Amino acid sequence: MSRSTPVTRTPAPATAGAGARQPRLVHAVAAVSALGGLLFGYDTGIISSALLFLARDFDLSARAQEVVVSAILVGAMAGAVGGGALSNRFGRRRVVMVVAVVFGVGAVAAALAPGTASLVAARFVLGLAVGGASAMVPVYIAEMAPPGIRGRLMVLFQLMVAIGQLIAYVTGYLLAGSGGWRWMFAIAVVPAVVLLVGMTRLPESPRWLVEAGRVEQARAVLARLRRPEDDVDAEVAEIRGVQDRLPGNPWRELRRAWIRPALVAALGIAMFSQLTGINAVVYYAPTVLTDAGFGDSVALLTGIGIGVMLVAAGITGALLVDRIGRRRILLLLMPGSALAMGVLALAFLPQQVSPTQQWVIVAALFAYIGLNGVSMQSVVWLLGPEILPLAVRGPATSLAAVTLWGFDLLIAVTALTAVDTIGRTATFGVYALMNVLCIAFVVRWVPEPKGRSLEQIERALRRPGRFPAELAAIEAEDAHPRVR
């Protein structure tokens, strides 16, 4: 297709086929690649249980504990950037396979670490894999999935993150005790091997194949990923229509004005996904609870409850994002997330926590995890790959992942210090305020990509009007094309 040839495909309504039977390969792609999310969740979540015993075995101060937690996040920032660059050159599938190998190597190194320095180094290696998975798995799923079920398949990644965190909490409880933390880290080798083997049987992204000039191979992959009644040739033509406009330097393209609305939305959601406090709870809840007078066993059991809530929130989010929409679910549930965090802050107000306050703290924690998990945590890995155009999807998604991990790092290196310096009430009060500011950001910047094809979204970005309004206009035009 030449650069001047208009795209004439008229997509079927987004709901058409959303509930129809899709080829098994579509679900296999999502299920296997989302194991990267399970490893991501396990390796970031296991530290909250391991830290209780690491701190005692290695005699770690609060600052040293923050360094051990944060090492994986520094690695994640590097892995996100490297994963995006490598995926543009070698393909999404190969990068995910490399990520699986790095997950396994990092898990073994952490389990065998003889001291703090080697453990920090191993956690950094694990971070490279976490960052690569966070940057590439959502992109891989987005580029393989039909528009009608893309949201629920991509949210499977976040659901697997939550399942990984739940497994981490349960494992931490079962292996509690001095030295048990080594087995906590080592267990992650098993899903890493499964991910590697599974990815060898999956195809490459058809959009990357078109970008690499392998159009016939892309058509063959799409034929396996779509139903017999779907127009594969039209989808290939639409991808090529976008491909014809791809720049030579995608990083330079990020500075263009037409991309800015999508970039601001993606980076802003990545930022607020951390500033609203989710990982302060995931990483440090057992530590904060024991410091507040909870016993080790109760704190670890509360961690398991948090893991269960994360999984329940992931399942609920997967069911709702394609029905309610990404933007709307944020606007409906983030006010409740802000309220729950505010209640948590106030519950820590007296220095001595009574049994009644303990119940309020646990209830507020669970309410916050549920509301923030269904909304923000379901949307954060979904929105960026959906709204960022193909020309910059690799580097821009990496930039969004770096933003997320950068603010995650900020939370990890400040949470315990903030609790020690300004107290639990002020610390959680700041997180509550961030939830409120997030709502204002969504109102102003976040569009609704529900049911729109990736190519429709890109066409809306290239129009001169406001991104959300143009996206809605394109959907109406494609649903009711004018007779020429």
Q: What is the pLDDT of residue 296?
A: 67
| DSSP classification of residue 483 | P
In the three-class reduction of DSSP (H, G, I as helix; E, B as strand; rest coil), residue 13 is classed as coil
Q: What is the pLDDT of residue 119?
A: 92
pTM of the model: 0.71
| Structural contact between residues 161 and 127, judged by C-beta atoms closer than 8 angstroms | no
| 272 in any annotated domain | yes
Distance CA 397, CA 168 (A): 27
Distance CA 302, CA 296 (A): 10
| DSSP classification of residue 257 | G
Q: How many CB atoms lie within 10 A of CB 33?
A: 29
Tokens representing 470?
Answer: 């143009």
| 9 in any annotated domain | no
Tell me the pLDDT tens digit for each residue of 238-270. 888 777 666 666 677 778 888 888 899 999 999
Please state the separation of Cα 12 from the chain's center in Å: 29
| 136 in any annotated domain | yes
Segments forming the whole domain that contains residue 104: 24-202+245-451
| 8 in any annotated domain | no
How many domains would you assign to the chain?
1
Half-sphere exposure of residue 140: CA atoms within 13 angstroms, side-chain side: 35
Name the CA dihedral angle for 295, 314, 316, 451, rounded to a multiple of 10 degrees. 160
Cβ-based burial of 421 (10 A; exposed 0-12, middle 13-18, buried ≥19): exposed
| 207 in any annotated domain | no
Q: What is the pLDDT of residue 185?
A: 92
| Structural contact between residues 156 and 106, judged by C-beta atoms closer than 8 angstroms | no
| 153 in any annotated domain | yes
Distance CA 371, CA 350 (A): 26
| 466 in any annotated domain | no
Q: Which residues of the chain have pLDDT under 70?
A: 1-20, 84, 177-179, 244-250, 291-292, 296, 351, 468, 475-476, 478-484
| 360 in any annotated domain | yes
Distance CA 95, CA 132 (A): 8
Q: How many CB atoms lie within 10 A of CB 305?
A: 17
In which region does residue 205 sit, left (phi positive, over 0), alpha (psi from -120 to 50) or beta (all else)? beta
H-type alpha helices, 292-350: 296-324, 326-347
Q: What is the CATH number of the domain that holds 317?
A: 1.20.1250.20
Chain length of the chain:
484
**339 Cβ contact partners less than 8 Å away, ≥ 6 residues apart:** 432
